[in-house]
Amino acid sequence: MARRSVAPARRAAQRVLVRLDETDVRFETALREDRGLADLDGRDAALAWELAAGTTRRRRSLDAVLAVFSDHRLDRMAAPTRAALRLGAYQLLFLERVPKHAAVDESVGLARTDGRRTAGFVNAVLRRVAAEGAAMLTRLGAGESVASLGVRLSYPDWLVARWVEEWGPERAAAMLEAGNRPPERCVRVNTLKSTIDEARARLRSDGFTVSTAGAGSAWRGTPEALLVEGGRLERSAAFREGLVTPQSRASQLVGAVAAGGAPAPGRIADLCAAPGAKTAHLAARLPAAHITAVELDPGRAADLRRLLARLGVTTADVTEQDATALGVDHDGLYQLVLLDAPCSGLGTVATRPDLRWRRRPQDAERLAEVQRTLLRRAARLLSPGGAVVYAVCTLDRRETVDVVLTVADAAGLLHDDLGATYTGLVDPRLPTALATMPDRDQTSGFFMARLRRAP
């Protein structure tokens, strides 16, 4: 009897995992550049993404279980074999809707290209995982120690320890759990080209299920946010025509906070502007303002220009420059400055599956120095009474509260009380600032503060 071919979604997921193993490429790049994946239909593409992303996220949990049932070390295996084992284990341990026999058989098929003996080895290991893996993972991850949480929830020990120290064990565990759940698919309606009702109708005509994003008074500031379910957004007419663009609710809140800080500014500086979602959001919220969008990297600047063109933004100029090197002729020129600073990004682990493995303990301290330098420069750009919004997609105190307090005090900046407007999102460490919590808010973890120069 002929051997059944392996599903193309699983082949694509294996290719992505192998590339991540063998190169320093990022997950989203490996996914975007896989030609076979680009040819898959919406359902298969979604499965390939889920398999590759889930296996990457759960790598530590999977490797801990596989190490028990294998006589060979994972780090000494060929990358395709290792990927086949991890994919099979992920489906067996975390995807209940996949029948166990299918998870094993398909993974054996993935390993068959490395020879009959390799396929037999993968078959033997995964059959043990199917029978005993769930109980073994429960045993290996039992307890509330840093190591136990790291194995059970699949994070490096240093990150678990840092979040436990910062937020306490209960909140830390909830945040870690949230980072393993598939993120919501959120888009922002581009009000330069469409009303919210028109965009909702167009998305539905493109085959998407659409619902309102967010609940409660805290999210009334982001009415443009819609949640979507369906195929590839990039193939829809709503996307191509610039009616909507992907943007998390937390990211949209940054734009709302910034626009609320200067109801009718003449000039805005958006530092570190790429990829441009917040630049475009400001242009839509404040159409009479002129935006100077600053981006150092030429490739990212090109992406920024393409996004602004698709969304019909005509009030923003892109300048390729280091934001800290803006000349003194810019000092005091801007009524509003948005600084979405480079950061560790640890509030986005749900959307960036490999980030937890790429980051290092020293990154926060290194990036905090960059952030302080940028925020000091941003403060000098402000005209009297002008506001700077400092935002980062991480919740680490080193990159959030400490940066704001250090620079604001030295520069004599005043704190706008964001907590008075967004009561449900107050950062307890600095009540004038906001923090979106992945476990509580089901969106990315962002910190944002608005500081103001005295009139």
Residue type, 400: T
CATH of domain 8-140: 1.10.940.10
pLDDT at 266 over 50: yes
pLDDT value of residue 1: 30
Burial 165-187 (b: 16+ CB within 10 A, else e): ebbeeeebbbbbebbbeebbebb
The segment(s) of the chain belonging to CATH 3.40.50.150 are: 259-452
Give the CATH class of 259-452: alpha beta
Q: What are phi and psi of 212, to 5 degrees?
A: -75, 140
| pLDDT tens profile 182-240 | 889 999 999 999 999 999 999 999 999 999 887 666 788 899 999 999 988 998 999 99
pLDDT at 410 over 60: yes
- Return the bridge partners of 450, or none: 389
Q: What are phi and psi of 50, to 5 degrees?
A: -60, -45
Residue type, 5: S
Domain at 186-246, CATH from 3.30.70.1170, 3.40.50.2300, 1.20.1340.10, 3.40.980.10: 3.30.70.1170
Closest by CA to 276, choosing from 304, 295, 239, is 304
pLDDT value of residue 4: 54
Mean pLDDT on 407-419? 96
Strand runs labelled E in 183-272: 186-189, 209-212, 225-229, 244-246, 267-271
pLDDT interval class at 263 (50, 70, 90): low
| pLDDT tens profile 99-110 | 999 999 999 999
Q: What is the DSSP string of 418-453?
A: GGGTSGGGEETTEEEEEE--HHHHSS---EEEEEE-
The segment(s) of the chain belonging to CATH 1.10.940.10 are: 8-140
Mean pLDDT on 327-343? 96
| pLDDT tens profile 300-326 | 999 999 999 999 999 999 999 999 999
pLDDT value of residue 61: 98
pLDDT at 50 over 90: yes
pLDDT value of residue 330: 95
pLDDT value of residue 2: 38
Strand, helix or coil for residue 115: coil
Q: CA–CA separation, 93 vs 61, rounded Å?
A: 9
Mean pLDDT on 29-35? 90
- Contacts by 152-156 with C-beta closer than 8 Å and gap 24+? 152/61, 153/61, 153/177, 153/180, 154/57, 154/58, 154/59, 154/60, 154/61, 154/62, 154/180, 154/356, 155/60, 155/179, 155/356, 156/60, 156/356, 156/357
Q: DSSP character for 412?
A: T
pTM above 0.85, yes or no: yes
Q: CA–CA separation, 392 vs 370, rounded Å?
A: 12
Q: CA–CA separation, 50 vs 149, rounded Å?
A: 23
Mean pLDDT on 268-278? 96
Q: CA–CA separation, 32 vs 27, rounded Å?
A: 9
The segment(s) of the chain belonging to CATH 3.30.70.1170 are: 186-246
120 CB-side CA count, 13 A: 3
Please answer whether residues 83 and 124 qualify as being in contact, where contact means their C-beta atoms are separated by less than 8 angstroms: no
- Return the bridge partners of 334, or none: 382
The pLDDT mean for the chain works out to 94
